[in-house]
Chain A
Amino acid sequence: DAGVIQSPRHEVTEMGQEVTLRCKPISGHDYLFWYRQTMMRGLELLIYFNNNVPIDDSGMPEDRFSAKMPNASFSTLKIQPSEPRDSAVYFCASSFSGWEQYFGPGTRLTVT
């Protein structure tokens, strides 16, 4: 059974460009979470969805960040425009009925 799938695994972009990170949760899971990990701030929850509906986006840093979940098997996290301080590892995780979360391999984003 495939785990959480994220793409791309690595992304290098220039400041000001749009970045889109993608996530496919585990089939049957009804919760999806986006996290950001940096040395300075550790693991931070950005937003999470339940049955494709955003429940809590209080962790989204600013309007440059947006997330969508058009269906149960796909979610995107978009940064527009990107800035060097957005450089981090972005994780997607999914769970069933809010139980333990299973993480994807992460996307390492570098904004130059």
Chain B
Amino acid sequence: AQTVTQSQPEMSVQEAETVTLSCTYDTSESDYYLFWYKQPPSRQMILVIRQEAYKQQNATENRFSVNFQKAAKSFSLKISDSQLGDAAMYFCAYRSATGTASKLTFGTGTRLQVTL
């Protein structure tokens, strides 16, 4: 079974600075997808960014980018120019690309604080 590990329960960043959230995963599969979801105090789970394992290029979405290291099974999220609205729980998630295994496996989350 796949597992996703987020080793940083909490992180803090100053407004306008850059922060990196870590995620590692364990799988024997070669084809899969990885995601970062954001959960603000409103509880809504919001998709931030996704990465296909077969792509070598790291995904980017505006201020959000990932560092995908397939051999190391690492998938970190970098937030540039942090804003107060970035304060939230961030969850890393894994999904197999094979068969009908469409379920997501989530990490335990990292709580990000943004300070002035």
Contacts and interface: CB of A to CB of B under 8 A. Distances in A.
Interface residues of A, number: 21
Interface string A93-112: 10100101111011010000
Nearest to B37: A103
B109 to A, nearest CB: 7
Interface stretch (B11-19, B22-30, B67-75, B96-104): B96-104
B108 interface: yes
| Chain B contact patch, size range | 20 to 34
Contact of B103 (A45, A102, A106, A108): A45
A4 B107 CA distance: 23
Interface stretch (A17-25, A48-56, A60-68, A69-77): A48-56
Interface of B: 33, 35, 37, 42-47, 50, 91, 95, 100, 102-109
